[in-house]
C-alpha cells in the first residue's frame, strides 16, 4: 500500500496565550493520498490554521504523530525543517503579499525560492516562465507586483509556491480576497496545474465554490476531523462522519440540535446499523 502524502494520527497542539493554555488540536486524524486535492473547512477557532502551521513545519505537535512526504514533523531539526520547507511543501498565504517580494519583477519573484537549491540560472528562468505561462501571466513577467491586479498577484503567489516543485501545496484561503469570477478562474488554474504536476493540495477555505472543486472536503470541529464530503455533481454530495482510531465520532451539530441530544445518549445495534437516540428520563412511579 502506497504511503500517504499526509498522515496525522492523534495530533494534539497546545499553546499559551497569556496565562491561558489553548488546546487547538485535540487528537486530530487526517490521511491524504498523493495527488489528492482536499479542502479543510470549519468555524473560526476550530483548528484549521493550527493544522496548516503543523503541516508547514512552523509548529510542532504537542502529542501524536504527523508525517508529510516521509518527514516526521515531530522530530525535525532546524536544518531539516529548512530542507523540508524548500523541497517538500509550498505555502500560499491568505495575505498574498507575504508570498511576494515587492522590489522584484514577477519572474524574479518566482526564481527567488530556487536560489540556493542548486538549480542553475537557465533552468530557474525556464521553470519560472513555464509556471507564469501556465497561469496566464507570462506577458506580465517583467512587471512589479504593484503593477499587477489582485488576480494576477494571486496567480503569481501560486507560481512562487510551486516554484520548487513541492510534493504538497498548502493554501490558506486562496480566493478569500478575490471577486467571485476571478476566484473561479484562479481555482480552475490551480486545479489544472495540480493535475499536470501531480502535486497534492490541501487548502483552507470558507468558500462554497471552492469545496466543489476538490476531491474531498474535510470539516474540523473542536480540533478534530468531524465529517468528510465528496461532491458527485455540483448539486449532490455524500457526507460521512469520520471515526477516529479510538472509535469516537462527532455527531453533526444540526442532528444534535434537532434531536435535543446532550450529556448522554443511547446507542444500540439494530441489525447492521448503529442507532443513536436521546436518553429517556427515568420517571418516578
- What are the pLDDT digits (tens) for 263-283? 788 888 888 888 888 876 544
**Within its chain, how far is the Cα of 186 from the centroid?**
16
Q: What is the pLDDT of residues 184-205, one digit of tens each?
A: 888 888 888 998 999 999 999 8
> Which pLDDT score, from 0 to 100, does residue 235 have?
67
> Which pLDDT score, from 0 to 100, does residue 53 have?
94
> Which pLDDT score, from 0 to 100, does residue 75 have?
92
pTM, two decimal places:
0.88
Does residue 281 form part of some domain?
Answer: yes
> Which pLDDT score, from 0 to 100, does residue 249 have?
83
Three-state secondary structure readout of 104-152 = CCHHHHHHHHHCCCCCCHHHHHHHHHHHHHHCCCHHHCCCCHHHCCHHH
Give the mean pLDDT of 167-188. 88
Check residues 260 and 157 and name the one with the higher pLDDT. Answer: 157
- Is 219 in contact with 187 (CB distance < 8 Å)? no
Q: How far apart are the first and last CA of the chain?
A: 59
Q: Using 50, 70 and 90 to split pLDDT, how confident is the model at 166?
A: very high
> Which pLDDT score, from 0 to 100, does residue 60 have?
92
Q: Using 50, 70 and 90 to split pLDDT, how confident is the model at 155?
A: very high
Does residue 222 form part of some domain?
Answer: no
Does residue 4 form part of some domain?
Answer: no
In the numeric block, which cell numbers belong to residue 197? 504536476
Residues paired with 220 in a beta bridge: 225
Percentage of residues in the chain having pLDDT higher than 70: 95
Does residue 137 form part of some domain?
Answer: no
Does residue 151 form part of some domain?
Answer: no
Give the mean pLDDT of 93-101. 92
Give the mean pLDDT of 150-160. 94
Does residue 172 form part of some domain?
Answer: no
Give the mean pLDDT of 126-149. 96
Cell 469570477 found at = 181
Query: Is residue 8 over pLDDT 90?
Result: yes
Does residue 267 form part of some domain?
Answer: yes
- Is 25 in contact with 51 (CB distance < 8 Å)? yes
Q: Using 50, 70 and 90 to split pLDDT, how confident is the model at 284?
A: very low
Give the mean pLDDT of 254-270. 81
Residues paired with 28 in a beta bridge: 11
Give the mean pLDDT of 66-71. 95
Give the mean pLDDT of 40-63. 92
Query: Is residue 1 over pLDDT 80?
Result: no
Q: What's the structural domain count of the chain? A: 1
Q: How many CB atoms lie within 10 A of CB 69?
A: 17
> Which pLDDT score, from 0 to 100, does residue 208 have?
72
Does residue 50 form part of some domain?
Answer: no
3-state secondary structure of 12: strand
> Which pLDDT score, from 0 to 100, does residue 256 have?
80
Q: Which domain holds residue 266?
A: 255-285
Q: Around 284, how many Cα atoms within 13 Å sit in the side-chain half-sphere?
A: 0
> What's the mean per-residue pLDDT of the chain?
88
Query: Is residue 238 over pLDDT 70?
Result: yes
Amino acid at each position: 500500500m502506497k504511503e500517504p502524502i499526509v498522515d496525522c494520527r492523534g495530533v494534539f497542539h497546545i499553546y499559551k496565550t497569556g496565562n491561558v493554555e489553548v488546546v487547538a488540536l485535540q487528537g486530530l486524524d487526517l490521511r491524504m493520498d498523493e495527488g489528492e486535492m482536499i479542502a479543510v473547512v470549519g468555524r473560526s477557532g476550530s483548528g484549521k490554521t493550527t493544522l496548516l502551521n503543523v503541516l508547514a513545519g512552523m509548529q510542532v505537535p504537542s502529542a501524536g504523530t504527523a508525517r508529510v512526504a516521509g518527514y516526521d514533523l515531530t522530530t525535525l531539526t532546524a536544518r531539516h525543517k529548512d530542507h523540508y520547507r524548500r523541497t517538500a511543501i509550498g505555502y500560499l498565504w491568505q495575505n498574498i503579499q507575504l508570498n511576494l517580494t515587492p522590489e522584484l519583477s514577477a519572474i524574479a519573484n518566482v526564481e527567488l525560492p530556487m536560489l540556493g537549491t542548486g538549480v542553475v540560472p537557465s533552468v530557474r528562468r525556464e521553470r519560472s516562465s513555464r509556471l507564469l505561462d501556465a497561469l496566464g501571466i507570462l506577458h506580465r513577467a517583467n512587471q512589479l507586483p504593484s503593477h499587477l491586479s489582485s488576480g494576477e498577484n494571486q496567480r503569481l503567489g501560486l507560481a512562487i509556491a510551486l516554484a520548487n516543485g513541492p510534493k504538497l501545496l498548502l493554501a490558506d484561503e486562496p480566493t478569500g480576497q478575490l471577486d467571485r469570477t476571478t476566484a473561479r478562474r484562479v481555482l480552475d488554474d490551480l486545479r489544472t496545474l495540480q493535475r499536470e504536476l501531480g502535486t497534492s493540495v490541501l487548502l483552507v477555505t470558507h468558500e462554497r465554490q471552492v469545496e466543489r472543486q476538490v476531491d474531498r472536503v474535510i470539516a474540523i470541529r473542536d480540533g478534530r476531523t468531524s465529517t468528510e464530503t465528496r461532491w458527485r455533481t455540483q448539486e449532490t454530495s455524500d457526507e460521512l462522519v469520520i471515526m477516529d482510531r479510538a472509535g469516537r465520532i462527532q455527531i453533526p451539530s444540526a442532528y444534535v440540535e434537532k434531536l435535543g441530544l446532550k450529556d448522554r445518549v443511547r446507542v444500540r445495534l439494530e441489525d447492521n446499523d448503529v442507532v443513536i437516540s436521546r436518553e429517556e428520563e427515568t420517571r418516578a412511579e
